[in-house]
Amino acid sequence: MKESLCIPGELLEQLRQGSPCFYQNTKRRTLGSAKPLLPVGLEEIQDAEARLRRFAPLLRQLFPETAESQGIIESPLTPIPEMASRLGREGESVAGRLLLKRDDLLPIAGSVKARGGVYEVLRHTEELAVMSARLRTMESYAVLRKEREMFSEHTISVGSTGNLGISIGIMSAALGYRAVVHMSADARQWKKDLLRSHGVTVVEYEGDYTSAVARGRETAKGDPRHYFVDDENSVQLFLGYGVAALRLRRQLQQMNIPVDETHPLLVAIPCGVGGAPGGITFGLRQVFGDHVHCFFVEPTEAPCMLLGMATGLHQNISVQDIGLSGRTIADGLAVGRPSGFVGKIMEPLADGFLTVTDEGLLNYVKCLYESCGILVESSAAAGFALSRVLSEGQWACPHMENATTVVWATGGGLMPEEIRQELLKSIGH
Ligand SMILES: *Cc1c(COP(=O)(O)O)cnc(C)c1O
């Protein structure tokens, strides 16, 4: 199989050696010609956003930290010119303005998973509540706080490297569900401890993320009271992530930052199985059309989405098939086989896929901390690697000088103090 792969030999060699790579998506299309190929559209994202608004009064009660935002789970968009200068000094300049999307600060889960994970649990909850007539039209969803007993007869489970488990587990447990998280070997101990402290059942596996998901899927089979959140195939997770695009548009408008023909928007998002960056990219292309350019960033040892896209094989190829380990310090990105569902949708939408070494990740964590005082987990710093691709001239578009680059910081907000200290130590502080 390896020998017959339909992928440029040079790229394959670089991937195998664990060198940082860039793959430009040759199948990208204009939004107009992409639309007929997509299974869902802007309408479904707007529907998801409306659902999140209906649940806001309930979230506000369950999670006091969302009171200020009236129960809406959103994160700031922050200019980080100090980081842009720092990258410049490291020889990796970013064109135009550099912004950081602070999903490490998202309430409930402290990571991008709060978007998709919370949304899917709420959607399932709405369905259960409506079906069992616990929710009448026009009633505030806050009444669902009293339905713990009903929810306790239902199980919600998920397979995860950590953060999705935290999002699904905490949200499900808060509503009263039995929550089960199947964790892969690379999941961090503190993430398991955190979940258990919320009353979530954590099942640990020796295997990787793909096998944890498979085991979880298996245990849920055939039980109508057991809902399995399928990270590899879930449309609902995808739509939940997609809502980020509507929110980002508002934030850019409030900052008077144009996105149009002469003002391109570049967005770099860390990628594991592909759901989070895929959903966000899908939303952004719907909202900004052809003026937004989205890039997925993966560890050099786990470039599953890049490999799936470059070969066109998607979920039918794994990084182990080309001799990579799939092991990385970026636990949220330690995925060996991509979501085929997401990969297919990304064909006409994404601009490029790139990789970064673990060493590179830690360096970005360090630069961000030293220049802006922001500490994110190593997975979450991957987006900065786009600066390498841009400064090496591997990708460019017209009007780059007017560009706005958004680096998506995807997690780290819930790191316990001793883990923060450990991370600080590993970057020399
Ligand atoms: C899960 C995760 C990602 C990537 O999301 P996928 O849906 O797995 O592609 C990125 N960063 C962090 C911190 C994550 O936890």
pTM tops 0.75, yes or no: yes
- Report the residue among 100, 190, 410, 415 best suited for mutation to probe ligand 1: largest number of ligand atoms under 8 A from its CB: 410
Q: What is the pLDDT of residue 136?
A: 81
Residues in the chain with pLDDT < 50? 1-2
**What distance in angstroms lies between residue 329's CA and the mean position of ligand 1's atoms?**
13
CA of 283 to the centre of ligand 1 (A): 16
Determine the distance separating the centroid of ligand 1 and the alpha carbon of 140, expressed in angstroms. Answer: 32
Identify the DSSP state of 377: -
Q: Ligand 1 centre and the CA of 299: distance in Å? A: 12
User: Among 270, 266, 275, 272, which residue's Cα sits nearest to residue 385?
Assistant: 270
- Give, using CA atoms, the residue closest to atom 15 of ligand 1: 332
The pair of structure tokens assigned to 270 is 């860390």
Distance 95 CA to ligand 1 centre (A): 25
Rg (C-alpha) for the chain, rounded Å, is 20
So what's the pLDDT on residue 336?
96
Ligand 1 atom closest to the Cα of residue 162 is: 15
Ligand 1 center–CA 271 separation, angstroms: 6
Atom of ligand 1 at shortest range from CA of 163: 15
What is the C-alpha to C-alpha distance for residues 319 and 303, in angstroms, rounded to an integer?
7
Query: Which atom of ligand 1 lies closest to the CA of 237?
Result: 7
pLDDT of residue 44: 98
Tell me what pLDDT residue 4 has: 66
Atom of ligand 1 at shortest range from CA of 275:
7
Which class for 153: exposed (0-12), middle (13-18), buried (19 or more C-beta within 10 A)?
A: exposed
For a ligand 1 pocket test, name from 271, 306, 307, 353 the mutation site with the most ligand atoms within 8 angstroms of its C-beta: 271
* Cα 332 to Cα 231: distance, rounded to the nearest angstrom: 13
Q: How many CB atoms lie within 10 A of CB 139?
A: 11
Residue closest by Cα to atom 1 of ligand 1? 332
Ligand 1 centre to CA of 162 (Å) is: 9
Q: Which residues of 278-312 are buried (b: 16+ CB within 10 A; e: fewer)?
A: bbbbbbbbbbbeebbbbbbbbbbbbbbbbbbbbbe
What are phi and psi for residue 415, nearest 5 degrees? -55, 125
State the closest ligand 1 atom to the C-alpha of 270, by its place in the atom list counted from 1.
Answer: 10
Contacts of 295 (CB under 8 A, 6+ apart): 266, 267, 268, 269, 350, 351, 352, 353, 354, 383, 386, 389, 395
The dihedral through the CA atoms of 259, 264, 270, 272 has a sign that is positive
Ligand 1 pocket at CB < 6 A: 111-113, 163-164, 270-277, 332-333, 377, 379-380, 410-411
Protein residue with least CA distance to atom 11, ligand 1: 410
What is the 335 CA–ligand 1 centroid distance (Å)?
10
